[in-house]
Structure 1
Amino acid sequence: MSDVSPMVYEILSEGAEPLSAAIDIEDGAIVLHSRGGTIGSYSERNRDYSEALRLILTRTLEARAVLRGIWVDSARTRHLPGADRIILASSEFVGSPSDLFTLISRRMQAIGRSSTAQTTRGNSNKRIRIEVEGKSRSQIERMLSAHIRRESGSPRGRLSADTLYSVTAEHVREAVLDAIENGPDPAFQESRQYDLIAGDGIRLPPKAVFGRAATLALGFRVLPEHFSAGEGEPCFKILRAAGFGIVPKGEVERAVPVLSREDLSWAEGDPRLVSHLKRERHRGLPAAKRAEFRRIHGRLFCELCGLDPVIQYGGPEGEACIEVHHALPLAEMAPGHETRLSDVECLCANCHRVVHSQMSQRSRFAGR
């Protein structure tokens, strides 16, 4: 593995202005990073994705380069065979850049979409890999008018522990989901010693995940030189506090109980209710919801009965009774459903138990 951090490029527009669209360039390939984040906020990334893709197509055609194919390259799809990820084959690289752009955008929507999805629409701004035959990295740089992206606004030197502790579980969860969908920030190397366990067999480099979370929290791009990762460092402490396990490379994480006996008694063996409960215990979800709730409301309280645990129990320890419940109806949670923070709510332990009892009764009644 190379000790040199990968370089991220940007494409210059026809007016020689850098576009907000990150790309990787290697011998024979271009990787266009996905667009994402909240529009207009700091979390927005690669807002010029569409313009960049059009320019890549235009400049590749003008250079009469031979395209070997275009594939979706997100972490969620890499386990699929190449034939299931391909967007455009070499023989289809004909027509105008505008026609090709429309075809590529339409085809990528379906790749990686759940077979049970309720809509035929999908994401047309995914991370994609474009392979170009016989072109070196330097040749592709010149062909695309691409330059190594210069970072601006990032401070020099290490960030203090107090600054790093601005990162909340909400930031961490968003960073994990981003890394799963789009891959870790290429400025960070692959982890050599530790893996962050994201669930479903997915392992991610902890430092890269924390760098993305810190970027969301602090409002400037946080890079590898800004902090250390390892046992005892704020990075690992914050990631674990957000609900994610970190283990040495090759080590299996110790079993973490997902459901208690009491949980299972509420579900009464109903597979749908068991699945519902597991969604509530999904890695990072409870901590992220509590962090979001505190940010919006300033404190935790029960959304059903209004109980304020700090007042009720005379101290912050009372917040332990606030639990996270998946409010979305079972019928609306198809396999592969991605749980958002808006899908869950904060309930006190008593209300949570009552709600699950009601769900169990409804489920049993529906099965008759």
Structure 2
Amino acid sequence: MPKLLPDFISRQQIIEAIHAYNSGILHKFDASRIYDVMHDGLSYPPKAIVGIAATKMTGVEFTPEDFTGGIKSKCVKLLTNQGFEIRIKKGKAYFSTNNDHPDELHSTGQFWEGSIKQITVNLYERDIDARKSAIAHHGTNCQVCNIDFCKIYGEIGEGFIHIHHLIPLSTIKENYRVDTIKDLVPVCPNCHAMLHKRIPPFTPEELKLIISKDG
């Protein structure tokens, strides 16, 4: 019978688990496949850290079979609730066979988000009508760096832009009603990737500050 993770693990208990992991404490967890939890510039497998913390907290040994470690899992929530950053490991990317706009799905009618389809990992299908509505309001310039692909690339750049969900699709429920003005912003591929370098994602305003400081 799988054991249930505690509903709360303190930040200090998580840090102590990280120290125990660094010291070579015995555990049954493997390296992470997709996500890492960050601390002091170093990356750690989220399941191992939470498993060690839960074991030390309860006195009962937790194993990989007792809980999952996906981005929507209780394991990851216990970490992010204490302010820890979750990052996608290098070389891991979500992809689709749609070469035009890989994160959109053709649809009509109301704008609904959050339906999951299985490719290699769960991808959250996005409504192309919501994309069109967002562009009609915001335009096609990147809302972070202000790049206009048409000015740079001419005809082939016309209308090209990514759409960023200010509320991450991984956190919303099926049949979520999208506000295309408040929830969606056009961003270039580079800025889109940088927004998602952190979980939860950076806001466009935070990324603008980073660009201005680096500039």
Q: TM-score under structure 2 normalisation? A: 0.40
Considering only CA atoms, is the larger Rg found in Structure 1 or Structure 2?
1
Q: TM-score under structure 1 normalisation? A: 0.24
Higher relative contact order (CA closer than 8 Å, sequence separation 6+): 2
Greater helix fraction, Structure 1 or Structure 2: 1
